[in-house]
Amino acid sequence: MTDRVLVLCTANRIRSVLFTALLDRYLATSGWSAHVVVSSAGLLEAGAPPAREAFTAAARFGFDLSGHRSRRLDRDLIDASHLILGAERNHVAEVWALRHEALARTFTYVEFAQLLSVSAPRTQDEDLDAFVGRVRGGSGRDVRTVMAAPDSWDVTDPVGRPTPTVLAVAAELDRLATGIGAATWPAA
Protein backbone atom coordinates (compact mmCIF):
# COMPACT_ATOMS: atom_id res chain seq x y z
CA MET A 1 0.00 0.00 0.00
CA THR A 2 1.20 3.51 -0.79
CA ASP A 3 1.42 5.96 2.11
CA ARG A 4 -0.18 9.31 1.28
CA VAL A 5 0.98 12.40 3.13
CA LEU A 6 -0.53 15.87 2.76
CA VAL A 7 1.56 18.87 3.83
CA LEU A 8 -0.15 22.20 4.51
CA CYS A 9 0.69 25.84 4.96
CA THR A 10 -1.32 29.01 4.48
CA ALA A 11 -0.78 29.73 0.77
CA ASN A 12 1.02 26.52 -0.36
CA ARG A 13 3.77 28.75 -1.70
CA ILE A 14 6.66 28.48 0.82
CA ARG A 15 6.61 26.22 3.90
CA SER A 16 4.57 23.30 2.56
CA VAL A 17 6.42 23.39 -0.76
CA LEU A 18 9.82 23.28 0.94
CA PHE A 19 8.75 20.68 3.51
CA THR A 20 7.41 18.46 0.70
CA ALA A 21 10.66 18.75 -1.27
CA LEU A 22 12.72 18.05 1.85
CA LEU A 23 10.63 15.03 2.82
CA ASP A 24 10.79 13.74 -0.77
CA ARG A 25 14.59 14.09 -0.64
CA TYR A 26 14.70 12.04 2.58
CA LEU A 27 12.41 9.37 1.09
CA ALA A 28 14.61 9.07 -2.01
CA THR A 29 17.77 8.58 0.06
CA SER A 30 16.12 6.10 2.44
CA GLY A 31 14.60 3.89 -0.25
CA TRP A 32 10.95 4.75 0.47
CA SER A 33 10.12 7.03 -2.47
CA ALA A 34 8.29 4.29 -4.39
CA HIS A 35 6.02 3.68 -1.40
CA VAL A 36 5.13 7.23 -0.32
CA VAL A 37 3.36 10.06 -2.13
CA VAL A 38 3.81 13.48 -0.55
CA SER A 39 1.65 16.33 -1.79
CA SER A 40 0.88 19.82 -0.53
CA ALA A 41 -1.96 22.31 -0.33
CA GLY A 42 -2.90 25.58 1.32
CA LEU A 43 -5.88 27.54 2.53
CA LEU A 44 -5.80 30.28 -0.13
CA GLU A 45 -6.38 30.38 -3.89
CA ALA A 46 -4.97 27.72 -6.16
CA GLY A 47 -2.66 28.16 -9.14
CA ALA A 48 0.01 30.50 -7.74
CA PRO A 49 3.73 29.76 -8.19
CA PRO A 50 6.05 29.49 -5.18
CA ALA A 51 6.85 32.77 -3.47
CA ARG A 52 10.22 34.47 -3.88
CA GLU A 53 11.18 33.28 -0.39
CA ALA A 54 10.66 29.64 -1.41
CA PHE A 55 13.04 30.04 -4.36
CA THR A 56 15.62 31.67 -2.06
CA ALA A 57 15.54 28.72 0.33
CA ALA A 58 15.25 26.08 -2.41
CA ALA A 59 18.44 27.33 -4.02
CA ARG A 60 20.34 26.40 -0.83
CA PHE A 61 19.11 22.81 -1.16
CA GLY A 62 19.43 22.56 -4.94
CA PHE A 63 15.67 22.17 -5.47
CA ASP A 64 13.82 23.31 -8.56
CA LEU A 65 10.35 24.51 -7.53
CA SER A 66 9.46 26.09 -10.89
CA GLY A 67 6.83 23.45 -11.71
CA HIS A 68 4.88 23.92 -8.47
CA ARG A 69 1.47 25.60 -8.43
CA SER A 70 -0.50 26.06 -5.25
CA ARG A 71 -3.54 23.92 -4.48
CA ARG A 72 -6.37 24.69 -2.13
CA LEU A 73 -7.18 22.27 0.68
CA ASP A 74 -10.44 20.38 0.17
CA ARG A 75 -12.24 17.31 1.48
CA ASP A 76 -10.97 15.08 -1.33
CA LEU A 77 -7.33 15.83 -0.43
CA ILE A 78 -8.07 15.16 3.23
CA ASP A 79 -9.88 11.90 2.48
CA ALA A 80 -7.01 10.64 0.31
CA SER A 81 -4.36 11.21 3.01
CA HIS A 82 -3.11 8.87 5.72
CA LEU A 83 -1.13 11.64 7.47
CA ILE A 84 -1.71 15.39 7.30
CA LEU A 85 0.92 17.83 8.55
CA GLY A 86 0.30 21.58 8.89
CA ALA A 87 2.80 24.36 9.46
CA GLU A 88 0.54 25.99 12.07
CA ARG A 89 -2.18 25.03 14.52
CA ASN A 90 -4.78 26.89 12.46
CA HIS A 91 -4.02 24.56 9.51
CA VAL A 92 -4.92 21.61 11.76
CA ALA A 93 -8.12 23.42 12.75
CA GLU A 94 -8.99 24.01 9.09
CA VAL A 95 -8.70 20.28 8.39
CA TRP A 96 -10.93 19.63 11.41
CA ALA A 97 -13.49 22.15 10.10
CA LEU A 98 -13.71 20.27 6.81
CA ARG A 99 -13.51 16.71 8.23
CA HIS A 100 -13.80 16.34 12.01
CA GLU A 101 -12.66 12.71 11.93
CA ALA A 102 -9.42 13.67 10.16
CA LEU A 103 -8.10 15.34 13.32
CA ALA A 104 -6.85 11.92 14.45
CA ARG A 105 -4.30 11.93 11.61
CA THR A 106 -3.59 15.68 11.42
CA PHE A 107 -0.77 17.41 13.31
CA THR A 108 1.49 20.41 13.06
CA TYR A 109 4.97 19.57 11.79
CA VAL A 110 6.38 20.38 15.24
CA GLU A 111 3.70 18.49 17.17
CA PHE A 112 4.24 15.30 15.14
CA ALA A 113 8.03 15.57 15.50
CA GLN A 114 7.62 15.96 19.28
CA LEU A 115 5.31 12.94 19.48
CA LEU A 116 7.80 10.93 17.42
CA SER A 117 10.63 11.89 19.79
CA VAL A 118 8.95 9.87 22.56
CA SER A 119 7.73 6.99 20.37
CA ALA A 120 9.48 4.00 18.90
CA PRO A 121 10.10 4.34 15.15
CA ARG A 122 7.74 2.67 12.71
CA THR A 123 8.42 -0.99 12.13
CA GLN A 124 8.69 -2.48 8.64
CA ASP A 125 5.37 -4.34 8.99
CA GLU A 126 3.40 -1.45 10.57
CA ASP A 127 1.05 0.39 8.22
CA LEU A 128 0.98 4.17 8.39
CA ASP A 129 -2.53 4.38 9.88
CA ALA A 130 -1.56 2.08 12.76
CA PHE A 131 1.70 3.95 13.27
CA VAL A 132 -0.02 7.34 13.42
CA GLY A 133 -2.53 5.92 15.91
CA ARG A 134 0.27 4.54 18.07
CA VAL A 135 2.20 7.82 17.98
CA ARG A 136 -0.92 9.85 18.77
CA GLY A 137 -1.84 7.57 21.66
CA GLY A 138 -4.91 8.04 23.79
CA SER A 139 -4.19 11.63 24.68
CA GLY A 140 -7.76 12.92 24.48
CA ARG A 141 -6.53 15.43 21.89
CA ASP A 142 -9.18 17.64 20.31
CA VAL A 143 -9.18 20.82 18.25
CA ARG A 144 -9.39 22.97 21.41
CA THR A 145 -6.25 21.41 22.87
CA VAL A 146 -4.44 21.84 19.56
CA MET A 147 -5.38 25.52 19.34
CA ALA A 148 -4.40 26.05 23.00
CA ALA A 149 -0.97 24.47 22.43
CA PRO A 150 2.10 26.70 22.66
CA ASP A 151 3.10 28.98 19.79
CA SER A 152 6.21 26.82 19.41
CA TRP A 153 4.01 24.27 17.59
CA ASP A 154 3.84 26.74 14.66
CA VAL A 155 6.59 27.21 12.07
CA THR A 156 7.10 30.91 11.34
CA ASP A 157 5.66 32.10 8.04
CA PRO A 158 8.67 33.59 6.21
CA VAL A 159 6.68 35.60 3.66
CA GLY A 160 8.13 39.11 3.39
CA ARG A 161 10.89 38.34 5.90
CA PRO A 162 14.59 39.04 5.36
CA THR A 163 16.76 36.32 3.82
CA PRO A 164 18.34 35.21 7.14
CA THR A 165 14.86 34.53 8.56
CA VAL A 166 13.82 32.67 5.40
CA LEU A 167 16.94 30.50 5.62
CA ALA A 168 16.39 29.86 9.35
CA VAL A 169 12.85 28.67 8.61
CA ALA A 170 14.20 26.47 5.81
CA ALA A 171 16.73 24.95 8.23
CA GLU A 172 13.93 24.25 10.72
CA LEU A 173 11.85 22.62 7.97
CA ASP A 174 14.84 20.49 6.97
CA ARG A 175 15.32 19.31 10.57
CA LEU A 176 11.60 18.53 10.95
CA ALA A 177 11.24 16.75 7.58
CA THR A 178 14.33 14.64 8.17
CA GLY A 179 13.30 13.74 11.72
CA ILE A 180 9.74 12.89 10.75
CA GLY A 181 11.01 10.95 7.75
CA ALA A 182 13.54 8.94 9.76
CA ALA A 183 11.00 7.86 12.40
CA THR A 184 8.09 7.27 10.04
CA TRP A 185 9.98 5.72 7.11
CA PRO A 186 13.22 4.35 8.65
CA ALA A 187 16.03 3.54 6.26
CA ALA A 188 16.38 -0.21 5.75
Alpha-carbon span 36 to 56, nearest angstrom: 27
pLDDT for residue 139: 66
Residue 137: pLDDT band (50, 70, 90) is: confident
Q: Give me Rg for the CA atoms of the chain.
A: 15
Q: Residue ranges of the domains in the chain?
A: 3-184
Per-residue model confidence as pLDDT tens digits over 37-87: 999 999 999 999 999 999 999 999 999 999 999 999 999 999 999 999 999
At residue 180, the pLDDT reads: 98
Q: What is the DSSP letter of 39?
A: E
Which ranges constitute the DSSP H helices of the chain? 15-30, 52-61, 75-79, 89-98, 109-117, 128-136, 143-147, 163-184
Query: Are β-strands 36-41 and 106-108 bridged in parallel, bridged antiparallel, or unpaired?
Result: unpaired
Supply the pTM of this predicted model.
Answer: 0.96
Residues 6+ away with beta carbon under 8 Å from 143: 92, 93, 96, 103
3-184 CATH, one of 3.40.640.10, 3.40.50.2300, 3.60.130.10, 1.20.200.10: 3.40.50.2300
pLDDT tens string 147-178:
989 999 999 999 999 999 999 999 999 999 99
Q: What is the mean pLDDT of the chain?
A: 95
**What is residue 140's predicted lDDT score, i.e. its pLDDT?**
75
**3-state SS class at 50:** coil
